[in-house]
Structure 1
Amino acid sequence: MDFDAVTKYSALHAKPPGLSSQYGTAGFRTKAENLNHTMFRMGLLAVLRSKQTKATIGVMVTASHNPEEDNGVKLIDPLGEMLAPSWEEHATCLANAEEPELQTVLSDICQKEAVDLQHNAFVVIGRDTRVSSKKLSQSVIDGVSALGGRYHDYGLVTTPQLHYMVCCQNTHGNYGTATVEGYYQKLSKAFMQLIKQAVSRKDGPMHLKIDCANGIGALKLKEMEHYLPECLRIHIDNDGSKGKLNHLCGADFVKVHQKPPVGLEMKTSERCCSFDGDADRIVYYYNDTTGRFHLLDGDKIATLISTFLKELLVKTGQTLTLAVIQTAYANGSSTRYLEEAMKVPVHCAKTGVKHLHHKAQGFDVGVYFEANGHGTVLFSKAAEEKIRQQAEHEKDNIKREAAKILENTIDLINQTVGDAISDMLVIEAILALKNFTVQQWDAMYTDLPNRQLKVKVADRRVIDTTDAERRAVKPPGLQEKIDALVKKVKWARAFVRPSGTEDVVRVYAEADTQENADKLAHEVSLAVYHLAGGAGEEPKPVV
């Protein structure tokens, strides 16, 4: 390892003394001006990971749905998945090492992970549209260069596109062609094959308004538009020409505030959706004839997709395992509908896409979505092979046709990570094939009213949870108090969990009415405040 080159480059990306950060589910995220040294060091780490895995590694510069002044970075492992947990720890150590310790930390990582420094390294880099992203991605490139790694800078891409590129590079083209054009061609071809039947019976084109959060999604959708068939007319709003990234728009804003984004004009019953800033989340919504806003979030998306897949699997006669993976935030109505009406098994994982992704890998077909709209579908290699073989060789017309639809669905889904563009095309294809309006989709089940609150505490570590974060084991007495409060209310459920990034405890409650959900959330917040070291003023009732 050329430590002289590392030291020389590192001096240009010096770490402010005492500054510390942690690599979480979403990588590093903070104010852009504090990230120069972190980006450089993630370039170094990507080279070591590439040498260890003998594969291409990705580095994405983005802060997703965070405000424009923030930025962040995440590393992408060989099959397009998130960075392995042991390497998350190395990322945190490396980012926090003071300048004199840098060489020691790098040597320790090489020793612990048996990194052969003689191997070549190849890193691909992408960035979102933030003003700070270009300069910060250059810091990553400096890190890669300092350790003699080769790199390809894809420039402006969505986060899911970079995940796709990494997977393509490491599967030698089996997953697709590792270019943005290759991504567009793969998805648009699968989409057109899927909706062939639906188009022949439809009167006119499908229309969809898309709020792109003034982010990278707008840029990429405009590029992709001419690859899409005439039967899908997309209308892009919040395209970055005038609004600020993620400001009063985007999937996170719509989900949290339960209202349409600024900059998108909705007509009655018009189908609309929102991406987040880096285009890995999506939520749908519409206004009914009374002007009431309806949100179709990740739970609704998972239900639509899993129902569609279950019907096709039944038609093929294949005995493949199908399951939906949710988090504790999933609405109770969605869980009941899937288990009782659709007979689809539902499993709960800890919050964070990496936990859902891992759990979904345990099934032939694993559908996972967080309520915030971040998710995808995973098909095991064995399931994929069976489906493709049946699509080609099956003698029975009905079974063969169902297998073909499944095969095109596999090609349309970005299995590496949640992808707003891919998920949007899957949803549109399903609605067309089922001849569903957005209202019919929404009517599959009715969400239970719910409320999410935050309670400031002196130290979030006093809260410890079990059962996929649905029950608190610390502090003593808190779970018993929550249980007693829940018992008083019809269809009630509540849980608390510590934030991953700040000293707050997140509270979730649902019940038969909005009034009861609000009251329960407030009462649970008070219990957290009094039993878990609340800071500042006592929580006020929900207004």
Structure 2
Amino acid sequence: MADPIAEAAAKHPAPEGVVYTYGTAGFRTKAQVLDSVMTRCGLIAALRSRLHKGKWIGVMITASHNPPEDNGVKLVEPLGNMLQEEWEVLSTTIANKPSPEDVSKYYQEIASKFSIDLSSPARVVVGRDTRASGPRLLDCVLDGLKAAGAEIKDCGFMTTPQLHYIVRSLNTEGTPHAYGTPTEQGYYEKFGAAFKAALRGKKPSGSLTVDCANGVGGPKLRELIKYLPPKEEGLEIHVVNENVIKPESLNVDCGADFVKTNQRAPPSSKVGPNDRCCSLDGDADRVVFYFKDSNNSFHLLDGDRIATLVASFLGDLVRQAGLADSITIGVVQTAYANGAATQYVEKTLKLKVDCTPTGVKYLHHAAEMLSIGVYFEANGHGTVIFSQDTLDSIAKHEPSSPGQKEALAVLVAVINLINQAVGDALSDMLLVEVVLAHKNWGPQEWLGTYTDLPNRLSKVVVDDRRKFQATDAERRLVKPEGIQKKIDEEVAKVRQGRSFARASGTEDAVRVYAEAATRTEADDLARKVSELVKTFGGPGAA
């Protein structure tokens, strides 16, 4: 009897000598070695859906901010969140099975381990970004899904957050917690209406220039603009770097990662002094803002800045609506957050700060533990999560004055404007514009909330990154023995010093972060800690 699982795996054999790992961003590498992985991810998605009693699971084909020749795939859980960790391991194992028979056998093993009925319904939604390899890799995913007998909804080109939105909306349709209409148009309608309601007649000053990284965010932003208030009443948006006809230009000299890494505007930027700009990444799930001042100096307003701006505004709304007694707001950061941002949240905004290891899944999980959890990585990926209790409190709250009523209306609109399923560059961009409009701020006022401590990020190549083991949300090393004491000694020599070293998740390297009161001290500290890493991580070191 024919085995459709083995047949699908045989159609897309695994290349020799490639080892795959499902990381924070799913599988991501050169597109030409991903065919076998895509087919097997289709099998995993079908199993995951059956385990969830036929709920929709998402498969997104994207490599986000990576160069055009790369691609990748990540799976999306029923509420739009990222794949559960145990299933990351299963995905990694099946991706590395050598033969079609091994793949089929492991597929059966997973089904039996979790008591999955393979004749029950499986439903999977698939989306992809604009990379040239997308159509081929989509076919590989579809082969896996068909072999597993899944019902398929192919959404074509989408931003990653749009796919997350559709998965969550499909699975909550018809329930008291319905998220939205499960179509692309439903996405535009929901966020367009929420933006208009959140502005409450206030108009953002000036215009916003949006660099779309020559990725899928360009055409999707063009579509979203049709659902926003006309520019006379709302926000005037200039769309740049939107060439999706030439996939080889994706993320090249533009996009959020370019701006964050190089600390400068894309070379294509033609804006004037104090004009607000932002850059999306290739799949539009992260955004950073920036501007040039009247002296032509570049200023970056990254994820830390977005988190502090949004947390401060939500804090104001919760107080003004008379909800401060029942709702607490917290900000979740990683060790890479600038120390000045942490201090501003704790001392000025008087809000709680939690620190987690690097990686969106850790931030998201910690934010879910709070009444209102604001999280943004410094790279611009983040969102705000409202607990069900918080949403219920807000829905039941009876305002006792016109001021409370107004604040409550804005708060409700802002909740609808935030994509709680995942960090969403388009939704976050509109959220920032709402806050600036309400505060009547331009980029200078936003920048003026606190002064970033000078910092330096370095990479040290080592023989074996596993020698470096960290604790305390990756802020302190427990191995190699003795290194942390030496780092502490160097930190103590500079003013406002802070430094940590952590093993890279993707390569044999250790990333060193250092900050201090002056640029010279920060650079010097980074150099000295990097030297310690070389000494302790070299050949023969324990």
**C-alpha deviations, 1:152-191, integer Å up to 9, x for none?**
0000000000000000011015100111100000000000
Find 1:315's aligned residue among 320, 325, 329.
320
1:234 aligns with 2:237: yes
| Contact 1:494–1:507 (8 Å) recurs in 2 | yes
Report 1:13-92 matches (<5 A).
13-54=12-53, 55-92=55-92
Partner of 1:356: 363
1:386 aligns with 2:393: yes
Give the Å deviation of 1:264.
1.9
Q: Secondary structure at the match of 1:227?
A: coil
Q: Secondary structure at the match of 2:209?
A: strand
Change (3 A) 1:3 1:311: farther
Give the Å deviation of 1:112.
2.4
Matched residue type, 2:82: M
Partner of 1:210: 210
Q: Secondary structure at the match of 1:210?
A: strand
**C-alpha deviations, 1:65-86, integer Å up to 9, x for none?**
0000000000000100000000
1:143 aligns with 2:150: no
**C-alpha deviations, 1:5-45, integer Å up to 9, x for none?**
11222211111233211000000000000000000000000
Q: Secondary structure at the match of 2:265?
A: coil
Report 1:430-469 matches (<5 A).
430-469=435-474
Find the aligned partners of 1:365 and 1:289 in 2 and give their Cα distance.
37
Partner of 2:221: 221
1:481 aligns with 2:486: yes
Partner of 2:165: 164
Give the Å deviation of 1:53.
0.8
Find the aligned partners of 2:415 and 2:202 in 1 and give their Cα distance.
18
Partner of 2:98: 98
Matched residue type, 1:31: K
Find the aligned partners of 1:170 and 1:459 in 2 and give their Cα distance.
43
Give the Å deviation of 1:389.
2.7
| Contact 1:456–1:503 (8 Å) recurs in 2 | yes
TM-score (norm 2): 0.95
Matched residue type, 2:331: V
Partner of 2:338: 331
Partner of 2:350: 343
Report 1:410-429 matches (<5 A).
410-429=415-434
Matched residue type, 2:95: A
| Contact 2:331–2:354 (8 Å) recurs in 1 | yes
Partner of 1:540: none
Q: Secondary structure at the match of 1:368?
A: strand
Matched residue type, 2:18: L
| Contact 2:160–2:284 (8 Å) recurs in 1 | yes
Change (3 A) 1:160 1:104: same
Give the Å deviation of 1:262.
2.3
| Contact 2:200–2:410 (8 Å) recurs in 1 | no
| Contact 1:238–1:264 (8 Å) recurs in 2 | no
1:517 aligns with 2:518: no
Find the aligned partners of 2:2 and 2:366 in 1 and give their Cα distance.
40
Find the aligned partners of 2:506 and 2:2 in 1 and give their Cα distance.
33
| Contact 1:191–1:429 (8 Å) recurs in 2 | yes
Instruction: Report sequence identity in percent.
Output: 50
Matched residue type, 1:408: A
| Contact 2:487–2:529 (8 Å) recurs in 1 | yes
**C-alpha deviations, 1:416-461, integer Å up to 9, x for none?**
0000000000000110111111110111001000000100011111
Deviates more, 1:2-11 or 1:453-462: 2-11
1:128 aligns with 2:129: yes
Matched residue type, 1:29: R
Extract unaligned runs of 5+ from structure 2.
Answer: none
Find the aligned partners of 2:479 and 2:300 in 1 and give their Cα distance.
34
Matched residue type, 2:432: I
Partner of 2:117: 116
Find the aligned partners of 1:109 and 1:533 in 2 and give their Cα distance.
41
Find the aligned partners of 2:191 and 2:229 in 1 and give their Cα distance.
12
Extract unaligned runs of 5+ from structure 1.
Answer: 536-543
Give the Å deviation of 1:394.
2.9
Partner of 1:538: none
Q: Secondary structure at the match of 2:200?
A: helix
**C-alpha deviations, 1:366-420, integer Å up to 9, x for none?**
0000000000000011111221232xx4342222221111100010000000000
| Contact 1:3–1:103 (8 Å) recurs in 2 | no
Q: Secondary structure at the match of 1:71?
A: strand
Give the Å deviation of 1:532.
1.3
Matched residue type, 1:217: G
Matched residue type, 2:423: G
TM-score (norm 1): 0.95
Find the aligned partners of 1:533 and 1:78 in 2 and give their Cα distance.
45
Deviates more, 1:21-30 or 1:173-182: 173-182
Give the Å deviation of 1:206.
3.9
Find the aligned partners of 1:456 and 1:400 in 2 and give their Cα distance.
57
Find the aligned partners of 1:138 and 1:401 in 2 and give their Cα distance.
50
Find the aligned partners of 2:2 and 2:331 in 1 and give their Cα distance.
48
Find the aligned partners of 2:304 and 2:116 in 1 and give their Cα distance.
41
| Contact 1:528–1:534 (8 Å) recurs in 2 | no
Find the aligned partners of 1:18 and 1:457 in 2 and give their Cα distance.
22
Find the aligned partners of 1:503 and 1:3 in 2 and give their Cα distance.
43
Find the aligned partners of 1:443 and 1:101 in 2 and give their Cα distance.
59
| Contact 2:206–2:275 (8 Å) recurs in 1 | no
| Contact 2:322–2:399 (8 Å) recurs in 1 | no
Find the aligned partners of 2:458 and 2:48 in 1 and give their Cα distance.
39
Matched residue type, 1:236: V
Aligned length: 528
Find the aligned partners of 1:384 and 1:404 in 2 and give their Cα distance.
13
Find the aligned partners of 2:18 and 2:388 in 1 and give their Cα distance.
44
Which portions of structure 1, spanning 4 or more consecutive aligned residues, are displaced by more than 6 angstroms?
none
| Contact 2:321–2:399 (8 Å) recurs in 1 | no
